[in-house]
Structure 1
Amino acid sequence: MLKLISTSLSLRCLRVAALPLNLRICSTLSSTENQQTVQELYDLSVDVQKVRQLKGWVLHRNPAYTREVSNLLKDMGASGFIISRILADHPEAVLCHPEQMQAQRELWMIVCPNQKELVGIIEKFPASFFTCSSHHDSQRQNIAYFQSLNLNKRIITKLMASAPQSFSRPVEQNEVMVRGLQEAYLELGGEEANMKVWLQKLLSQNPFVLLKSPEVLRQNLLFLRDKGFSAAELLHLMSKLKGFVIELNPDSMRRSLAYSKETVGCSEAELRNIVLNCPALLYYPEDILAERFQLLLRAGISMSQIMGTPTVLELTTQIVNYRIQRLRERGYDVGAGSLEVLNGTKKNFEMSYGKLQLRTERPIFNPVAPLRVDD
């Protein structure tokens, strides 16, 4: 019996230790559900069964502040439907102390004063808003730092929402990474007058860039320079890769480039040109590239067509298969025509397909048919 009790207590301690620090400090774990929390969630039309299945431990915590969370969101303009959806997706919100929530509200309104827009952000990124109070100082300092860079408030808001880790850590770490990006931009020939716009676009496209190391960026740029890319081409790649060049490493890029070169049968110069048009070749591993090349070749598409429109390799095999089938239904020979009609986003494909459909359905002119003229 003593052994069973000891084991039970150990498991419970492990479970508590796995919880976020701010939730462990101000709440305790019970073996039974907090009936007040359950009832208040029901009253708010929250899917309690979903909460039980995915994050049932929340229902065992005490105290909880379900009504306070609801009132805060309602005061910001959130509808009952939105409140219930936020709490179903992120029930941990009910464990945040009201003072923490109010502090977060004031903090976020520095960069997003429109409360309706803020509710929309919370709906998409609830975990970024309902966060630990011990991070408030770092968040405030990081907001001030990015404001000092004259970044657009919407960009800062997006960073806080989609990459909250970069705001909860010391501001000095972000300063080092931003400085590394700026130095790389200028060394590659970027104009200082355009640097703010470039940085804003980069951070907007890939907020997680801030969590990387300037040393990783330097190593990747040196590798690509050794492969023959000019400074201007490297700057182009940095911009077109949306910061993903920082998430790569020389070994993976070396393998992907070697596979592509051998498969296409091109020179180093031709390979660089393909990469400039389709930077995805740098970060797709060999197995994914092999799958995509093989699908295109089996469909009757030539290697010269792929070289002419290499961005088709950015599409998954499922998307390519679907589009090829639709084009064949309209009598389009993908092995003989341009791959541009196969390429691009879903919207672009539908537009190209629509034009193709009109062209194939146009009535054939009959030279011996009588002309219809108005009386």
Structure 2
Amino acid sequence: MLWKLLVRSQPCRLCFFRKMQSTPKYKPFLAYFTTDRQSNKENKRTVETLYKFSVDIRKIRSLKGWVLLEDETYVEEVANILQELGADEAVIASILERCPEAIVCSPAAIDTQRKLWQLVCKNEEELIKLIEQFPESFFIVKNQENLKLNVQFFQELGLKNVVISRFLTTASNIFHNPVEKNKETIKLLQESYLNVGGSEANMKVWLLKLLSQNPFILLRSPTTIKETLEFLQKQGFTNFEILQFLSKLKGFLFQLCPRDIQNSISFSKNAFECTDRDLKQLVLKCPALLYYSVPVLEERIQGLLKEGISIAQIRETPMVLELTPQIVQYRIRKLNSLGYRIKDGHLANLNGTKKEFEANFGKIQAKKERPLFNPVAPLNVEE
């Protein structure tokens, strides 16, 4: 899913601890001696306990060696909590190697975190799998009270626990917001949907689907969301058309500002050498033209042109711009293997999802292999 590739959570730790200073790209000669001196300053009890749990100390030293210098650590306590959840020695070692700051978090804070995550993930086996996959999301959080209130709010909205647990691991930043901020954004989204002609009956389904596909919309300010909708109205799009965008673009429209949209529109207008009215029709066919950045649009158009596809063909089927150059090349090769020359035909056979393309390809292949006549069918011959 696209929403998985957008924003990584910013680390805000359960406990207050020192930040690492940025290290130079190349180690000076004396640094090799300093490393030994630093190892002498490490908390020996911490190191020994980590060895006890088969943790690779070298990985921690290279990743976040500062945790080994801390006077107070909780290696055994953290390991015990993970064991209670069903983690074996290998899983515990893996978690501590990838998220060493876990050992400087107090057991009380971790226990609270466990209870909060269990609000949406009651199965301990599933919970430990989530922690193993996303240890930083579990051990690093800004405000546990915010987390609790936001989880409760999302449950009240009607989001399923499995969706909220996905938010915890891959979109943890939205829980850093005060719950009032998230409520304000949700209220604005609901009002916006109704203002452009959406119905009360469909609003909840639309909202839950929107959040499930793109929770990062909650990181946008309500002001920016309003400005984006107003900008589209000034561009001549009707409420019905904007409602279509809200349904098709999965909320990514709200992650843009008017300037981004204007840049994309101006580029597309020049690239396709079309009028404002023609461009509007292109956007209605392919709403992605609004949110793809200029470099992305330029790369995809150039990729199509290199394959012998004309601007006129792209204008006729602009949805092809939703495909990356790599996907385009792969599909053209497959079609060429059947003798189908895409540059001489319609781009519809190139377009669509992977499933749709494979179905189309299968039909073309079957048609090509079909005999000219059915040898077992009776012939209509006049006597």
Scaled to the shorter chain, the TM-score interval is 0.7 to 0.9
Does residue 332 of the first structure (1) align with residue 325 of the second (2)? no
Deviation string 1:233-273 (CA, Å, 9 cap, x unpaired) is 21221232221112211122112112112222334333223
Q: Judge conservation of contact 1:111–1:156 (CA < 8 Å) in 2.
A: yes
CA apart distance, 1:351: 4.9
Deviation string 1:107-129 (CA, Å, 9 cap, x unpaired) is 11112212222223323332221
Q: Judge conservation of contact 1:30–1:61 (CA < 8 Å) in 2.
A: no
Alpha-carbon distance between aligned partners in 1 of 2:56 and 2:345, rounded to the nearest angstrom: 52
Name the structure 1 match of 2:82.
73
| Amino acid in structure 2 at the alignment position of 1:207 | P
What secondary structure does 1:110 align onto? Answer: coil
- Distance change (3 Å), C-alpha of 1:270 and 1:49: farther
Q: Judge conservation of contact 1:31–1:60 (CA < 8 Å) in 2.
A: no
Name the structure 2 match of 1:22.
15
Structure 1 unaligned segments of length 5 or more: list them: 1-17, 369-375
Aligned partner (choices 282, 285, 301) of residue 290 of structure 2 = 282
Name the structure 2 match of 1:177.
185
Deviation string 1:22-74 (CA, Å, 9 cap, x unpaired) is 2428xxx9973334444444444444433332323233333222333233223
- Distance change (3 Å), C-alpha of 1:306 and 1:42: farther
- Distance change (3 Å), C-alpha of 1:36 and 1:211: same
Matches within 5 A, 1:144-155: 144-155=152-163
Q: After the TM superposition, which of the residue ranges 206-215 and 167-176 deviates more from structure 2? A: 167-176
Name the structure 2 match of 1:318.
326
What secondary structure does 1:62 align onto? Answer: coil
CA apart distance, 1:77: 2.8
Name the structure 1 match of 2:105.
96
| Amino acid in structure 2 at the alignment position of 1:109 | Q
Q: Judge conservation of contact 1:68–1:98 (CA < 8 Å) in 2.
A: yes
Alpha-carbon distance between aligned partners in 2 of 1:318 and 1:22, rounded to the nearest angstrom: 45
Q: Judge conservation of contact 2:14–2:139 (CA < 8 Å) in 1.
A: no
Name the structure 2 match of 1:143.
151
- Distance change (3 Å), C-alpha of 1:357 and 1:173: same
Q: Judge conservation of contact 2:320–2:347 (CA < 8 Å) in 1.
A: yes
Name the structure 2 match of 1:291.
299
- Distance change (3 Å), C-alpha of 1:31 and 1:353: farther
Aligned partner (choices 130, 142, 145) of residue 139 of structure 2 = 130
Does residue 209 of the first structure (1) align with residue 217 of the second (2)? yes
| Amino acid in structure 1 at the alignment position of 2:204 | K
CA apart distance, 1:356: 4.6
Does residue 303 of the first structure (1) align with residue 311 of the second (2)? yes
Alpha-carbon distance between aligned partners in 1 of 2:231 and 2:122, rounded to the nearest angstrom: 44
Name the structure 1 match of 2:244.
236
What secondary structure does 2:143 align onto? Answer: helix
| Amino acid in structure 1 at the alignment position of 2:209 | K
TM-score, normalisation: structure 2:
0.79
- Distance change (3 Å), C-alpha of 1:21 and 1:140: closer
Name the structure 2 match of 1:263.
271
Q: Judge conservation of contact 2:121–2:127 (CA < 8 Å) in 1.
A: yes
Matches within 5 A, 1:182-197: 182-197=190-205
CA apart distance, 1:339: 2.7
Structure 2 unaligned segments of length 5 or more: list them: 1-10, 19-37, 376-383
Q: After the TM superposition, which of the residue ranges 111-120 and 185-194 deviates more from structure 2? A: 111-120
Alpha-carbon distance between aligned partners in 2 of 1:169 and 1:146, rounded to the nearest angstrom: 13
Name the structure 1 match of 2:26.
none
Alpha-carbon distance between aligned partners in 1 of 2:314 and 2:206, rounded to the nearest angstrom: 30
Q: After the TM superposition, which of the residue ranges 163-172 and 219-228 deviates more from structure 2? A: 163-172
Name the structure 2 match of 1:53.
62
Matches within 5 A, 1:4-23: 20=13, 22-23=15-16
- Distance change (3 Å), C-alpha of 1:155 and 1:21: closer
Alpha-carbon distance between aligned partners in 2 of 1:162 and 1:87, rounded to the nearest angstrom: 19
Deviation string 1:101-160 (CA, Å, 9 cap, x unpaired) is 11111111112212222223323332221134x712222222222233233223332333
What secondary structure does 1:24 align onto? Answer: coil
Alpha-carbon distance between aligned partners in 1 of 2:354 and 2:40, rounded to the nearest angstrom: 50
| Amino acid in structure 1 at the alignment position of 2:336 | R
Q: Judge conservation of contact 1:209–1:243 (CA < 8 Å) in 2.
A: yes
Matches within 5 A, 1:337-356: 337-353=345-361, 356=364
Identity of counterpart residues, as a percentage?
A: 46
| Amino acid in structure 1 at the alignment position of 2:106 | H
Q: Judge conservation of contact 1:135–1:169 (CA < 8 Å) in 2.
A: no
- Count, aligned residues: 347
TM-score, normalisation: structure 1:
0.81
Q: Kindly indicate whether structure 1 or structure 2 has the higher relative contact order, using CA contacts under 8 Å at least 6 residues apart.
A: 2
Alpha-carbon distance between aligned partners in 2 of 1:90 and 1:166, rounded to the nearest angstrom: 21
